[in-house]
Structure 1
């Protein structure tokens, strides 16, 4: 496990959408936070599949040679959020780096170039990865306000959760892992 980032900001942490989340685009969302500071925040939803799209289709559309390793074609394409939905990101382990790779912490990096997809197709990509289109973005103070409204539960970084758990079960596994019964989570927010 990595060292805890600055508690004031959530870069490198994981957000779980609470049942009270009013925005259906984030229903049961698991978001890996790539950046968070006084100017805003950026994260990638890592558990919402894009229906009807897989890596094979994407590689064909981008005219990238088909990989020799056919398991690459089976990588799901995820919907990272409602912002810039045509922009691609590879969230990956730190064993891969290109010129525009951003190392978030000791376990996670993000790369947003077509060259990363080419490397993955050629078998030269990272050992662990997710391919994501779009991202979730917050303006200055917006995420902090949502946190105060109990819209999100914050978890420490968890490489196994992000890379080893199937997207369709990730939210439930995360809740289970921290010992919370999802049935006990209220769909209403408020303070006593």
Structure 2
């Protein structure tokens, strides 16, 4: 039996289909930031929390002079793993201490230096702050893909940064020509 070749989904969106039974991922749009044969890491980009960016600045001890620190920008629930840990998805305007290149023009940073810069209005031109991430072990994401719980498409920074969060899931699906409201939540057999 021939083993299928591995195809990385890094810099792709995972679009939850109606078959998604896991409440942590139902109706979510997740950006895959890293994917290898050892597993995958992603950040959910359409689940805002009640926390604001200004509150995050205060919690990590950033007391900037800039009014942006009082920002009411939402902080997102990035996934069920390490929900106390912060992640910043952003355009790669400049380098930061701990960044992972996700795709052309898009990085994921976990170091405090980016938050300090953002609080002082010196951060990236576009950013989304999330707490926690989504993680999959070796072969787990591939199995979920085979079970049709996800659709996938190449990530678009415009969906992450300029599309209102409540429209991101449908915008990503529409980029594939799919209307999620017309998909059945039932798995059928011919």
Query: One fold, TM greater than 0.5?
Result: yes
Q: 1:3 corresponds to which residue?
A: none
- CA distance in 2: counterparts of 1:72 and 1:14, whole angstroms: 31
Q: 1:13 to 1:191 in 2, by over 3 A?
A: farther
- CA distance in 2: counterparts of 1:30 and 1:161, whole angstroms: 10
Q: 1:7 to 1:154 in 2, by over 3 A?
A: farther
Given candidates 136, 153, 160, the residue that maps to 1:155 is 153
Q: 1:110 corresponds to which residue?
A: 108
Q: Do the aligned residues in 2 keep the contact of 1:13 with 1:33 (CA within 8 Å)? A: yes
- CA distance in 2: counterparts of 1:185 and 1:107, whole angstroms: 32
Q: Do the aligned residues in 2 keep the contact of 1:67 with 1:123 (CA within 8 Å)? A: no
Measure how far apart 1:64 and its partner are: 0.5
Q: 2:57 corresponds to which residue?
A: 59
Q: Do the aligned residues in 1 keep the contact of 2:53 with 2:74 (CA within 8 Å)? A: yes
CA root-mean-square deviation = 1.8
The answer on 1:127 being equivalent to 2:125 is yes
Measure how far apart 1:157 and its partner are: 1.8
Q: 2:99 corresponds to which residue?
A: 101
Secondary structure at the residue paired with 1:65? Answer: coil
Measure how far apart 1:100 and its partner are: 1.4
Q: 1:11 corresponds to which residue?
A: 10
Aligned residues: 186
Q: 1:31 to 1:135 in 2, by over 3 A?
A: same
- Please give the per-residue CA displacement for 1:15-57, whole angstroms capped at 9, x wherever unaligned: 100011001111111101011111000000011011x211111
Measure how far apart 1:69 and its partner are: 4.3
Secondary structure at the residue paired with 1:9? Answer: coil
Q: Do the aligned residues in 2 keep the contact of 1:102 with 1:111 (CA within 8 Å)? A: yes
- Please give the per-residue CA displacement for 1:59-112, whole angstroms capped at 9, x wherever unaligned: 111121245243871221000000000010000001131121112221210110
What TM-score does the superposition give when structure 1 sets the normalisation length? Answer: 0.90
Measure how far apart 1:153 and its partner are: 0.4
Q: 1:72 to 1:33 in 2, by over 3 A?
A: farther
Q: 1:92 to 1:144 in 2, by over 3 A?
A: same
Where structure 2 has 5 or more consecutive residues not aligned to the other structure, the ranges are none
